[in-house]
Amino acid sequence: MITFVLICVWFVLAYFIALHALYLFLIIIGALQVRRYQKGITFAEFERIAASDLTMPVSVIIPIFNEESIAVATVQNALALNYPKHEVIVVDDGSTDKTMAELVEAFRLFRVEKQGQKHIPTREVLGSYGSVEHPNLLVVTKENGRRGDAINAAVAVSKYPLLCVIDADCVLESDGLLHMARPFLRDSKLAASAGVVRPSNGLQLKGGRIVGQGLPKSLLGLSQEIEYARSFQWARIGLCRLQSMLCISGALLLIKKSVFEAVGGSWPNAITDDIEFTIRLNKHIHDRRRDRTQHLEFTPDAVCYTEVPEKFRQYASQRNRWQRGTLQALLRNWKMMLNPRYGMSGLFGMPFFLIFEAFSAIVELLAYMLIPVTLILGLAGAWEIALMLYAAYITGVCLTLSAILLSETGRLRAASWQDFWKMIAAVFLDNLGFHQWHLINRVLGTFQYLILRRTDMGLHMERLSPNTATP
């Protein structure tokens, strides 16, 4: 028994050191990558892209399900993007609330016939609608499927060679699409580009445009703000450099239509279609049996803001779903695991996601469970446990501060000193309860997926009233 506990303790310690060392490594690589990216931007380049007839047109795809409170604002934001030529395709995935009615009223929709190129089968499309005021807006209604099915339906009717998939609650910076499209203009081998995702809670909007920055009001929201900065921004840039970015957030993806179709589109049964799709995308472009000339890129200055849950119940459900989705995606593409055929994505990306993303919660829970066990068995005293806990806590703080340091040197720095101090407070408070709550939900998600085979989408996200986001 004691030997087993000892093995567990040493395993947890080794895991903890490896995890933090890897994250630090990824953050450093991410910072170097961003520096290189910024050096590559030429003077007035984005103005040139915006004015050029040669910029590749983009189809912006917004899958929507029961989003009556935010649908209109999101579509307005997408229509107001500063881009030479883009269309907005909204797919109402069988909403049962007033989403469609709101859209019809706001954009004066009328029915149109639309025959797309249907390469990927989807649930039945019920109708297509154009807008009197916005000729570049198309709304498609279809039978309820999942997000992936809705995206596939939109791709079938899209006209342009680039697809930008965003979430229903996303707010893009007005030049965001220009920044995302830039790498495609420079590199014909680029398959897809991902952008930075940050919480939108606290953002101020007017007519679909961002007019003021801000932070979430609750501590839970702030905790997610620093989590997004640390894990979803810097670490992912590092992973991308290592050709191992297996999760491009569904909140912001720009991809060539030809590549999307070649990959087979989104998997309609996915719990989190973005992770599953990105893994298959990596599988497609890194497969040694193909020419392997394509690649993915992270665009560090393209920012999309997405609403994060500020209620514990909603947060729990979201993290539970993400955990189940990650496991589902990894297991579905298990063939890639440690398979040299898929290059770095198989040899490093897949094991990294499995060990340090999917199973990190289990290992951390094991660490917490070992505390009473070691105390009872007399293997460690209270002082030693406290010391270890403090070491773990301060390592996390140190890592997060590194991410904040990098953010402060760029344009994604906190908007005011007040916001800055809130962020710093969140860095120190995050590990004192919020992180553990996150952990419990992920462990539950793991159990529910692996043992109970739960594959539903969890609670539907309750949106903040649009007034809270508008000054």
Partner 1 sequence: MEILSPTIIKIVIQAAIALTFISLLLLGIIIAIRWGTDRKQRISSDYRKEAKLFVMGFITGKITKEESLEVLKENLKEGLELLLEIGNSLSEEERKRVRILCAALPFEEEQLDLLESRHWENRRRAAESLGYVGGTASVAPLKAALSDGILIVREAAARALVAMGCVDAVESIVLALDAPGEMAERRAAEVVTVLGDGAVDPLLSMLDQKGVKYTPTSIKIVIRALGSLRASEAVPALVRLLKNSEFTIRLNSVRALGLIGDASVIPEIAELAEDLPWEVRNVSVQALGRLQATERIPLLVRALGDPSWWVRFSAAQALYALGEPGLRELQKSMSAHSDRYARDMSRQILQEHRLLERNSIPSAL
Residue ranges in contact with partner 1 by CB under 8 A: 2, 6, 9, 39-40, 42-44, 47, 52-54, 56, 100-101, 104, 109-115, 117, 126-127, 129-130, 141, 184-188, 374, 378-380, 384, 387-388, 390-391, 394-395, 397-398, 401-402, 404-405, 408-409, 413-414, 417, 420, 424
Please give the Cα distance from 84 to 175 (Å, whole number): 11
433: left (phi over 0), alpha (psi -120 to 50) or beta: left
User: Judged by CB, which is closer to partner 1: 374, or 446?
Assistant: 374
Residue closer to partner 1, measured from CB, 409 or 468: 409
3-class DSSP assignment, residue 128: strand
CA 38, distance to chain mean position in Å, is 22
Q: Which residues contact 65 (CB under 8 A, 6 or more apart)?
A: 92, 93, 94, 95, 99, 144, 147, 150, 168, 460
CB of 117 to partner 1, least distance (A): 5
Amino acid at 55: T
| Minimal distance, residue 404 CB to partner 1, in Å | 6
In three-state secondary structure terms, 45 is helix
C-beta of 104 vs 365, nearer to partner 1:
104
What is the nearest approach in angstroms of partner 1 to the Cβ of residue 234? Answer: 14
Cβ proximity to partner 1: between 415 and 444 the closer is: 415
Q: Which of 183/346 has CB closer to partner 1?
A: 183
For residues 62 and 45, give the distance between their C-alpha atoms in angstroms, rounded to a whole number: 28
Smallest gap, in angstroms, from Cβ of residue 119 to partner 1? 10
Cβ atoms < 10 Å from Cβ of 413: 15
* CA-based nearest residue to 58, from 139, 149, 152, 154: 154
Residue 72 CB, nearest approach to partner 1 (Å) = 15
Cβ 45 to partner 1, closest distance in Å? 9
User: What is the nearest approach in angstroms of partner 1 to the Cβ of residue 293?
Assistant: 11
Nearer to partner 1, 242 or 415 (CB): 415
| Cα→Cα distances 193→84, 164, 252, Å | 19, 9, 9
d(CA 28, CA 21): 11
Nearer Cβ to partner 1 (127/351)? 127
